[in-house]
Chains A and B, each alone.
Chain A
Amino acid sequence: MLDLEFMRLAFAAGGIVGLLAPAVGFFLVQRRMSLIGDGVGHVAFAGVAAGYLLGISPVATALVASVAAAIAIEWLRTTQRAAGDQALALIFYTGIAAGVVLISAAGALNANLFAFLFGSILTVTGDDLRLVAILGVAGLVTIAFLYRRLLAVSLDEESARVSGMPVGLLNVLLAGLAGVTIAVSMRIVGILLIAALMVLPVIAASRIAWSVASAIAISMVIGVASVGIGLTLAYYFDLAPGGAIVLVAAGSFVLTSGARLALQVAEA
């Protein structure tokens, strides 16, 4: 399998995505913003469509659209121009409608689009990998530097605000990171499923974690393992990789829940 260049590219890009998505997703879950990935993913679809229409890289246009959408959701939410779920609904439906209109205008309703929606192991190019590597590493470094602040804001937002922490800026940065994660992940996992890779490993890890640091580390391990196993299954059984990856991540929740139960029984 690894003799094939497209599989090596898929595993390399998938490894970065498997690390980045849960790292960003951890803070989204703690801030009860789990569904932001879904909303932004639908706008990323409009970005891909705009790329086809304009004849430029769909990944680049999806990146711009995703970051802009994530920041817009955060702005709508924090300025209370719309309640959290209303802000999400507004962006969600506008994004998917704009995507459908643009993609039909571009005449690109084809299998290539299907690969963006559900992921494909054939479509990762060397250029894609370079972009995923640069943005993925930048995202992980940003999370590492902001870790203490993001945690402090998650623990007690009001207290953090009183102590002069730039809560609004941190929220916008986190939303922007969610946008970047979606753009770099869509080749592998697909626009419609990337949000799951940001959330499911975190939920699974929380079942057995003993600290915040361990929860993040375990969720990143689950993320990478889900991508690795999912891509392998997709290769051997000719499946859509996004679906296979997310089902593996969902399976990890069953495993960690079982492990937790076993630990509780052992402690009793």
Chain B
Amino acid sequence: MPLRALDVQLEHVSFAYPGGAEALSDVTMHVEPGEFVAIAGPNGGGKTTLVRIVLGLERPRAGRAELGGVPAYRYRPRARIVYLAQRAQLGIEAPATVREVVTAGRAAAHGLFGRLDERDRELVAEAIERVGLTQYARTSLARLSGGQQQRAFIAKALAAEPELLVLDEPTTGVDVDAQEAFAELLAELHRETGTTILYVSHEFGAVESLVDRLVLVRRSIVFDGPPSDLAAGWHDPSHAHA
């Protein structure tokens, strides 16, 4: 089912953490609604800072960062902005099941005291089915493989019906086969839902063939275009790390 998708506008954005060197310098980037964009670059190159600004978690020191034409930090309602942090780890010790984790994706949609209803339960069941984990719905996440855990986190994101989905290094620590399967699942979901996706990674091999556009960040944007236009040397991850 196609979802409403959000556009992202960064205009001449610069940013530095307090007491630190400039993390981003004069970054301009426009993401159209429904685009699937990979943001790559070396560790420490400013990718995570860039997405934190996009998500409104940080405010630019100079320039503008907007979601849907509104300053990112002021954008409301935010229940359909979904962020999966680096290799999303469960923040709890208790054995959360796949269904409990995915249901948490609906929590933001109902304010502080609103109750989840039948539609929420349907969305959760659908999301679990779409990532192929129906038979594991009652299984504790801790008992699943790394790849299956990533699928559960994607299901949690899907349950929120995202208009913007930001994934930050989502496959760190997951084996290559699982990374490729994960990227394919993401591309399939993008085709089905049409939501805007920003996929952040220090390497882009897994998603290179699946995204519309690749943005390379090294404090500023050093490449922005279709992956096929990238000079051959850049495809070598060691170059991105230079």
> Is B101 interfacial (CB-CB < 8 Å)?
yes
How many A residues have CB within 8 A of the partner chain? Answer: 32
User: Which A residues, 179 to 229, have Cβ-Cβ distances below 8 Å to chain B?
Assistant: 206, 209-213, 215
Assuming the A-B contacts A162-B82, A163-B79, A164-B78, are A215 and B107 also in contact, with contact meaning beta carbons closer than 8 angstroms in the complex? no
* B98 CB, min distance to chain A CBs, angstroms: 10
Question: Which of B96, B101, B112 interacts with A169 by CB under 8 Å?
Answer: B112
- Which residues of chain A have C-beta atoms less than 8 A from B103's C-beta? 148
* B228 CB, min distance to chain A CBs, angstroms: 32
Question: Which of A145, A158, A163, A206 interacts with B94 by CB under 8 Å?
Answer: A206
> Is A29 interfacial (CB-CB < 8 Å)?
yes
Q: When chains A and B are docked, how far (Å) is the Cα of A212 from the Cα of B82?
A: 23
Assuming the A-B contacts A155-B92, A155-B104, A215-B95, are A161 and B57 also in contact, with contact meaning beta carbons closer than 8 angstroms in the complex? yes
User: Which B residues, 88 to 127, have Cβ-Cβ distances below 8 Å to chain A?
Assistant: 88, 90-97, 100-101, 103-108, 110, 112-113, 115-116
Judge whether A152 and B104 touch: CB under 8 Å: yes
Question: Which of B85, B100, B115, B160 interacts with A163 by CB under 8 Å?
Answer: B160
> Is A104 interfacial (CB-CB < 8 Å)?
no
As a 0/1 sequence over residues 25 to 58 of chain A, the CB contacts with chain B under 8 angstroms (1 = contact) are 0100111000000000000000000000000000
* A133 CB, min distance to chain B CBs, angstroms: 22
- Which residues of chain B have C-beta atoms less than 8 A from A26's C-beta? 94
How many B residues have CB within 8 A of the partner chain? Answer: 39
> Is A234 interfacial (CB-CB < 8 Å)?
no
Of chain B, the residue at the smallest CB distance from A159 is B83
Q: When chains A and B are docked, how far (Å) is the Cα of A159 from the Cα of B90?
A: 11
> Is B76 interfacial (CB-CB < 8 Å)?
yes
- Which residues of chain A have C-beta atoms less than 8 A from B77's C-beta? 164
Number of A-B contacts (CB under 8 A): 105
- Which residues of chain B have C-beta atoms less than 8 A from A165's C-beta? 107-108
Of chain B, the residue at the smallest CB distance from A214 is B95
Judge whether B107 and A152 touch: CB under 8 Å: yes
Most B CB contacts (10 A, CB to CB) among A26, A151, A215 go to A151
Of chain A, the residue at the smallest CB distance from B85 is A158
Judge whether B76 and A164 touch: CB under 8 Å: yes
Assuming the A-B contacts A211-B100, A213-B100, are A30 and B108 also in contact, with contact meaning beta carbons closer than 8 angstroms in the complex? no
Assuming the A-B contacts A30-B91, A155-B90, are A212 and B100 also in contact, with contact meaning beta carbons closer than 8 angstroms in the complex? yes
Assuming the A-B contacts A146-B113, A151-B100, are A162 and B94 also in contact, with contact meaning beta carbons closer than 8 angstroms in the complex? no
Most B CB contacts (10 A, CB to CB) among A29, A146, A164, A170 go to A164
- Which residues of chain B have C-beta atoms less than 8 A from A148's C-beta? 103-104, 106-107, 110, 116
Assuming the A-B contacts A148-B116, A211-B100, A215-B94, are A159 and B84 also in contact, with contact meaning beta carbons closer than 8 angstroms in the complex? yes
A-B contacts, 28 listed (Cβ < 8 Å): A26-B94, A29-B93, A31-B91, A148-B107, A152-B104, A152-B105, A155-B90, A155-B91, A155-B101, A156-B88, A156-B90, A156-B104, A157-B91, A159-B84, A161-B57, A162-B82, A163-B82, A163-B160, A164-B76, A164-B78, A164-B79, A206-B95, A210-B95, A211-B96, A211-B140, A212-B95, A212-B97, A213-B100
Where the two chains meet, the residues of A that have a C-beta atom closer than 8 Å to any C-beta of B are 26, 29-31, 145-146, 148-149, 151-152, 154-166, 169-170, 206, 209-213, 215
Query: A158-B57, A158-B85, A211-B96 known; 20 other A-B pairs, CB under 8 Å?
Result: A26-B94, A30-B93, A149-B112, A151-B100, A151-B104, A155-B101, A156-B90, A156-B91, A157-B91, A159-B85, A159-B88, A162-B82, A163-B107, A169-B112, A170-B112, A206-B94, A211-B100, A211-B138, A211-B140, A212-B97
Where the two chains meet, the residues of B that have a C-beta atom closer than 8 Å to any C-beta of A are 55-57, 76-85, 88, 90-97, 100-101, 103-108, 110, 112-113, 115-116, 138, 140, 160, 166
